[in-house]
Amino acid sequence: MTGGAKGWRAMEHRVCVAPMMDHTDRHFRYFLRLIAPRVGLYTEMITAQALLHGPAERLLAFSPSEQPVALQLGGSEPDALERAAALAASGYRYAEINLNVGCPSDRVQSGRFGACLMAEPALVAECVAAIRCGWPGEATVKTRIGIDSHDDYDFLQQFVAAVADAGCHTVIVHARKAILKGLSPKENRTIPPLRYDVVYRLKQDFPSLRVVINGGIESMDDCRRHLSAVDGVMIGRKACSDPCFLRRLDDTLFAAAERPAFSRAAVVAEMADYAASECSRGVRLHHITRHMFGLFAGQPGAARWRRYLAEHAAQPRASARVLGDALKNIRLAA
Ligand SMILES: Cc1cc2nc3c(=O)[nH]c(=O)nc-3n(C[C@H](O)[C@H](O)[C@H](O)COP(=O)(O)O)c2cc1C
């Protein structure tokens, strides 16, 4: 499980799923790939220091079927980022390395990285250049439209110009600013207003840069509207609450290829096989099934499915059979 020497796929930015701590782990990505074969996937943020001093194999390994998947790094020390990127290059077939310049948490700020780095464009440019030294593939940046009182367009434009000069050809922009003191990370995802117009303007000013827009995207109409102005859409929370939304996007926004009709029951069956294999290696069932709560969102029996999984998969000896039982349970209820 190294991302596979075979089957490498270039990153898909037209529709991708946002990096989310505690969500976009390898189990969730495996599950999403069964639902949406083409969308791009991102890891949770992994700090360069965690990779250099922690269990790198456990942090980096992924199933070849997840591809294309991008690794998101956190950090602000060019040397450490270069070494972390080189580690990722040493046998893990990621499609891209992305630098987190958008997270506003106190923990991240105390390490002097995440969103606060927007105030230091020269350092971010050095970080991008360092990643590119350690890594032969694409290096990208995920950022906000501003931080605190630095929220005028010129500030964002200068930041983006600096990272583009360092060799970053794709920027992902969460279309709200971050407020570094006084708002929690969760509040920073809802309270500062969304300014999609700012991201559209960025694309107009940097036509050769790939610009991916993120923040509050929840419908097909939202995606169509954004894709007429920028190159890609990144979906975060909606992918957790209603993962089948990604299937609708995948079916609609990519050139149609012949493939079998989508079935949630088939996804459950494949996940049961996957869970059996993972549990035999010591993974707790709940760590896999917690990502599947939203599979039946909007369908009859959705609440029952969720409740059944929450109650039964967390039992100490729970086995992958819980998934089949949960499915029977909602069929009986339907
Ligand atoms: C639980 C959670 C964890 C997140 N973790 C990360 C992270 O590790 N790296 C990152 O760049 N953004 C992180 N984000 C922010 C998302 O990538 C995204 O920018 C944000 O949720 C806005 O997109 P949405 O409105 O589609 O959810 C996180 C968001 C959530 C909800």
Specify if 5 maps to a domain: no
Tell me, yes or no, whether 79 and 157 share the same domain. yes
pLDDT in the model for residue 316: 87
Residue from 103, 127, 223, 244 carrying the catalytic annotation: 103
| Ligand 1 atom, smallest distance to 23 CA | 1
Tell me, yes or no, whether 150 and 280 share the same domain. no
| Ligand 1 proximity of 237 Cβ (cutoff 6 Å) | yes
Tell me, yes or no, whether 98 and 224 share the same domain. yes
Tell me, yes or no, whether 272 and 246 share the same domain. no
CATH number of 105's domain: 3.20.20.70
- CA distance linking residue 5 with residue 2, whole number of Å: 8
> Is the separation of the CB atoms in 31 and 275 below 8 Å?
no
| Ligand 1 atom, smallest distance to 214 CA | 23
Tell me, yes or no, whether 117 and 244 share the same domain. yes
**Long-range own/partner contacts, residues 313-318 (CB < 8 A, 24 or more apart):** 313/285, 313/286, 313/288, 313/289, 314/285, 314/286, 318/284, 318/285, 318/286
Positions of the chain with pLDDT lower than 50, given as ranges: 5
Alpha-carbon distances of 228 from 21, 140, 193, 207, 233, rounded to whole Å: 30, 22, 21, 13, 11
CATH number of 274's domain: 1.20.120.1460
* DSSP string of 34-95, one letter each residue: HH-SSSBEEEEEEEHHHHHHS-HHHHH---GGG-SEEEEEE---HHHHHHHHHHHHTT---S
pLDDT in the model for residue 253: 87
240 is catalytic: no
- Cβ atoms within 10 A of the Cβ of 58, count? 8
| Ligand 1 proximity of 174 Cβ (cutoff 6 Å) | yes
| Ligand 1 proximity of 47 Cβ (cutoff 6 Å) | no
pLDDT in the model for residue 108: 87
Specify if 9 maps to a domain: no
Atom 13 in ligand 1: residue holding the nearest Cα: 20
pLDDT in the model for residue 333: 56
pLDDT in the model for residue 334: 55
Tell me, yes or no, whether 228 and 275 share the same domain. no
Specify if 35 maps to a domain: yes
Q: Where in the sequence is the domain holding 43, given as residue range(s)? A: 15-253
| Ligand 1 proximity of 226 Cβ (cutoff 6 Å) | no
> Is the separation of the CB atoms in 270 and 35 below 8 Å?
no
Atom 10 in ligand 1: residue holding the nearest Cα: 19
Atom 30 in ligand 1: residue holding the nearest Cα: 20
Q: At what angle do helices 196-205 and 153-165 cross, to 10 degrees?
A: 50
Tell me, yes or no, whether 236 and 286 share the same domain. no
pLDDT in the model for residue 109: 81
> Is the separation of the CB atoms in 243 and 35 below 8 Å?
yes
Coil, strand or helix: which one is 277? helix
pLDDT in the model for residue 261: 83
pLDDT in the model for residue 332: 63
Coil, strand or helix: which one is 211? strand
Tell me, yes or no, whether 246 and 274 share the same domain. no
pLDDT in the model for residue 226: 98
Q: Which residues contact 120 (CB under 8 A, 6 or more apart)?
A: 76
Q: Is the dihedral of CA 217, 139, 205, 109 positive or negative?
A: positive
If one counts the domains in the chain, the total is 2
Stated pTM of the model: 0.96
